[in-house]
Chains A and B, each alone.
Chain A
Amino acid sequence: MNLYPNAADLLQAIADLLDEEVMSAVPAELAHKVRVASNLARIVGREVELAGPAGESERQGLVSLLGRDGPLAELRAQLTARLREGDPALEREAWCLAVEVTRDELAVVKPGHDRWEGK
């Protein structure tokens, strides 16, 4: 498929429309929902650009942690199940991988949230 403009550009246009034109035209009780919608359009815009490479790096991390290959969702569920059963040897590396994966997710949903590394 060679669709033009691309998804990120269109989501940007939707977010701008919501912020710049719709917001001022809706009743006050709808303003919060419009703000949320525009934020979601920006989130999905970032997801479209970042999710592909980040998904592959998560999968590679899981492959090396679990020592087997497979689809991302399956590997993720397997790691979660092993952690729930209790596998202390796995925990430190799983923590490091979770930090990396969460950083990638935050780059989509809340850029900058991972700058604070304290408690």
Chain B
Amino acid sequence: MTLRSAPADGTDLAGGLARVLSDAWGTRVDVSNLAPSSAGARRRNVAFDATARTLPAMELVVTIVPAGAMGLNSVTAEAQMRRTARDHGVPVPEVIVSCEDESLLGGPFFISSRVAGETVPRRVLRLVHDAGTGDLLAGQLGTALARLHGIDPAEAPAGLIDPGLRPPSEAALEDLEGSMRDLGVLDRPALALGMKWLERRLPAAPQRLSVVHTDVRNGNLIVTTEGLAAILDWEGARRHGDPMEDLAWPALRMWRFREDHLEVGGFAAREPLVDAYRQAGGYFDEDRMEWWKVLGTLRWAVGLYAQATAHLSGTFPSIVMAASGRRVAEMEWDLLMLIRP
């Protein structure tokens, strides 16, 4: 086997992890079986085992974030948010250590316990299909989201992104308008129709603003035959948001992976998600969810367009970014179907 465990920047990852954990636990820790995971384009996730003489062997994952990421939570805030969510019964892998010091592993990082199960969307769908657990999974997701949204925003960690008390729909639409203006997306009638639809139906602020995750979807879930084992990727969590944003996002077509007839992640219809959400105390608003589905689809179209622009302008030259531009039509189709007159 070739030695691929050392990261590209030359830092010895296994050695760095051993030092971090030895310090944290106050005993010598050995690190082995490093296995980079393909999940997460921006963040680097590496599974590994940690053994200390005095403790049982532990299966862990380190998540290393590129330094200087904008508009996302610090690893400290993310780690604290994960703890808060766990305390409220949301399934989240337990965080062992978090650290902002970039010199140790080449970027801020946190180490969490490794939860067994599938995360790759198509594998999740196969597992759920074989086990017949789609409705169960959607229900567990609904319960988890209701618990998350039930958290008092004042209890969220101090450093968590906080958009404040402005109506989230208004802020989201204004941000989108700004991105489109900055990018100069002025020749796409489908997107213009979508923006008009959103403006006309702009919902008022929800009764109560909630802590929101903003990226709950097939791909950010760990799933086993028992259903939902964990919700991952809390980097975009916010103190104040519209809970319907979190229900709309996993229901978008792009997270169904060809199982288009099953609205929620390609594994279930909407009903089990919403029923469980209500039963666990969540307040469901159908119109508001539809609005966030349109917003999310349009925002994703603009994000893909922005990636292609980053390639063309030389800010981030990459064939992958260039290819994103050719995916805008998919989002425009989904958008047009959502706003059908």
Binding site for B on A (CB under 8 A): 32-33, 36-37, 39-40, 43, 73, 76-77, 79-81, 83-84, 86, 91-92, 94-95, 97-99, 101-103, 105-106, 109-110, 113-114, 116-119
B336 touches A80 (CB 8 A): no
Stretch from B59-67, B85-93, B203-211, B320-328 at the A interface: B320-328
Q: Is B319 an interface residue (CB 8 A)?
A: yes
Q: Report the contact-size class of chain B (Cβ under 8 Å from the partner).
A: 20 to 34
19 A-B residue pairings within 8 Å (CB atoms): A32-B320, A40-B322, A40-B323, A77-B187, A83-B189, A83-B192, A84-B195, A86-B196, A91-B193, A95-B340, A95-B341, A97-B189, A102-B190, A102-B332, A106-B330, A106-B333, A110-B329, A113-B330, A119-B293
CB atoms of B193 and A109 under 8 A apart:
no
Asked whether any CB of chain A lies closer than 8 Å to the CB of B70, the reply is no
Q: Binary interface profile of B, 266-308, with partner A (CB < 8 Å = 1, else 0)?
A: 0000000000000000000000000001000000000000000
Please report the number of residue pairs spanning A and B whose Cβ atoms sit closer than 8 angstroms. Answer: 92
Asked if B55 CB lies within 8 Å of chain A CBs, one says no
**Residue B253 CB within 8 A of the other chain:** yes
Contacts of B192 in A (CB 8 A): 79-80, 83-84
Cross-interface CB contact of B189 among A76, A113, A117, cutoff 8 Å = A76
With A39-B323, A116-B260: A98-B329 Cβ-Cβ less than 8 Å: no
Instruction: Give the distance in Å from the alpha carbon of A79 to the alpha carbon of B91 in the complex.
Output: 48
Chain A proximity mask over B159-196: 1 for CB below 8 Å, otherwise 0 = 00000000000000000000000000011111111011
A94–B193 contact, CB under 8 A? yes
Residues of B within 8 A of A97 (CB): 189
In the complex, A113→B341 CA distance in Å?
A: 20
Closest CB in chain A relative to B324 CB, distance in Å? 10
Task: Assess the B193–A118 pair: CB atoms within 8 A.
Answer: no
Q: Which residues of B contact A113 (CB under 8 A)?
A: 329-330, 333
Q: How far is the CB of A14 from chain B (nearest CB, A)?
A: 13
Minimal Cβ-Cβ distance residue in A for B294? A119
Contact of A102 among B320, B329, B339 (CB under 8 A): B329
B260 in complex: contacting residue of A79, A99, A101, A118, CB < 8 Å? A118
The reply to whether the CB of B261 lies closer than 8 angstroms to some CB of chain A is yes
A98 to B293, CA, bound (A): 19
CB neighbours (8 Å) of B186 from chain A are 77, 80-81
User: Once the chains bind, are B189 and A116 in contact (CB under 8 Å)?
Assistant: no
Closest Cβ neighbor of B195 among chain A residues: A84
Query: Can you name the residue of chain A whose Cβ is closest to the Cβ of B321?
Result: A36
